[in-house]
Amino acid sequence: MSTIETIKEKFQQLQSSNGHSPLTSLEQSAFHTFDTLGLPTVKNEEWKYTRISGVFNKEYAFNPESNRSAFAAGELAEIRLPGHEAANELVFVNGVYNASLSTVRSASLNLLSLEEAAKNEYREIVQQHLGHSSKYIKDGIHALNTAFLQEGVFVFVKKGKVVEHPVYIYNVADARTTNVLSQPRSLIYIGENAQLQIAETYVTLGVCESFTNQVTEVVIEKDAIVEYYKIQNDAAHSSQVNTTHIRQVGKSLVNTVTISLNGGIVRNNLNIAMEAEYAESHFYGLYFLKGTSHVDNHTVVDNVKPNCLSNELYKGIVDDKGTAVFNGKIFVQKDAQKTNAFQSNKNILLSENATVNTKPQLEIYADDVKCSHGCTVGQLDEESLFYMRSRGISEKAAKSLLVHAFALDVLEHIKLEPIREYVDHIITERLQVKTTNEVSVSEE
């Protein structure tokens, strides 16, 4: 039986066993979309440079019942992010939230299942916002996640609350005994004048393959401030399609940084819908690829209301046979006058076999706006290399220093100091910086 046939069979089984719930109609509608659209191919313009169908040519354990893991608290210590002692830690194992492994330190942070939230006082929030990302992403993989969202999590930050401890989210794929397909699903609601910091990471255990199909929807109310950091440094046999959908429904500030350092096939969908006047968003990305890693960043900024500001900077360093894709879209709707929107994508190729495909796009339907976009793909600056060589720095050391300086433009926007130092340490190790002033580019 193919993976697609298995998915269809599991969906029918789960629908029969779970009975009717407030989420049933959304799941069934999504499954119909998945069944109609199927998996995207390179003939789909949005997937032109990423062949995802091969990921599904494998057998996976993927529904919650067969995805139970022996992952234990003792093993969590090995994958924790720095600064975890002062953080809320939410642990998802094979796509399912594990309360016993998680630690919630902030009283202002409420967690419950999506199904439970859809029944109680949060019902209107769930009805209004859950599944909104499907408006922007119309493909079978996104719909597949929604069809199996019964194990999803609802995170609520009450109006006026500042969550004093950052929220660390660990996505663990336990692939020690079998291939694993995980589908984490979250809806995060940040109330008026609230503040929240999130840092998310991914780890695959074992030598079997993993595929994570994640959807996170974030709703930000008036005067709220959100920082969202995503760190992707998983194994080469780990692939993921990762969708983060942010709605600024009130005048608010959001800062996101996506760091992609390793993995198999990685597709990141980042949508920001600016639905309130004077909303402001800043989003940054860095991909530093080696081996045969393939990272595809798709971003959408939808300016719906006037007087909004967005600033986007993605930078790429691609080595070996790595492949990077950047597709950034800015929409300015007809009512979004006085929009300021800026987008830049800059890339450095470190080997002849490295590849970058970049496509910035603007669609503007208003006439009083300031918008710009641009992209570059090239090698390290020869004049800078010559300058350093002329001062006694070896060629390898000079290249490493230039690469590190290139990355710092993005790293400096990670305001959580332990996370910034963690990422910088990984990059430094890769560049094999030596304390003897001799620096060499990794030849892995």
Q: Tokens at residue 380, please?
A: 């390290």
**Among 65-69, 299-303, 408-412, whose mean pLDDT is lowest?**
65-69
Q: Write out pLDDT tens, residues 356-375.
A: 999 999 999 999 999 999 99
User: Do the Cβ atoms of 169 and 201 come closer than 8 Å?
Assistant: yes
Taking residues 98-102, what's their average pLDDT? 94
Taking residues 209-227, what's their average pLDDT? 97
State yes or no: pLDDT of 442 exceeds 70: no
Domain limits, the chain: 3-276, 382-433
Taking residues 8-24, what's their average pLDDT? 84
Q: Write out pLDDT tens, residues 133-164.
A: 999 999 999 999 999 987 899 999 999 999 99
Supply the DSSP string of 284-326, one letter for each residue: EEEEEE-TT-EEEEEEEEEE-SSS-EEEEEEEEEE-TT-EEEE
Taking residues 408-415, what's their average pLDDT? 97
Confidence of residue 64 (pLDDT cuts 50, 70, 90): low
Query: HSE (CB half, 13 Å, CA atoms) of 62?
Result: 27
pLDDT at position 46, please? 93
State yes or no: pLDDT of 63 exceeds 70: no
Q: Write out pLDDT tens, residues 305-327.
A: 999 999 999 999 999 999 999 99
Closest CA to 380 of 392, 398, 393, 354: 398
Q: Write out pLDDT tens, residues 420-441.
A: 999 999 999 998 743 344 444 4
pLDDT at position 310, please? 97
| CA–CA distance, 295 with 408 (Å, rounded to integer) | 20
The percent of residues in the chain predicted with pLDDT above 70, rounded, is 96
Taking residues 167-178, what's their average pLDDT? 95
pLDDT at position 62, please? 73
Confidence of residue 7 (pLDDT cuts 50, 70, 90): confident
pLDDT at position 16, please? 81
For the chain, how many helices (H) and strands (E)? 9, 20
Q: Write out pLDDT tens, residues 85-97.
A: 999 999 999 999 9
User: Average pLDDT of the chain?
Assistant: 92
User: Do the Cβ atoms of 419 and 229 come closer than 8 Å?
Assistant: yes
Report the side by side order of strands in the sheet with 96-97.
96-97, 88-93, 167-174, 195-205, 225-233, 253-262, 280-289, 309-318, 340-349, 370-378
The residue type of 378 is G
pLDDT at position 282, please? 98
Torsions phi, psi of 214, nearest 5?
A: -110, 140
Q: Tokens at residue 353, please?
A: 């076999």
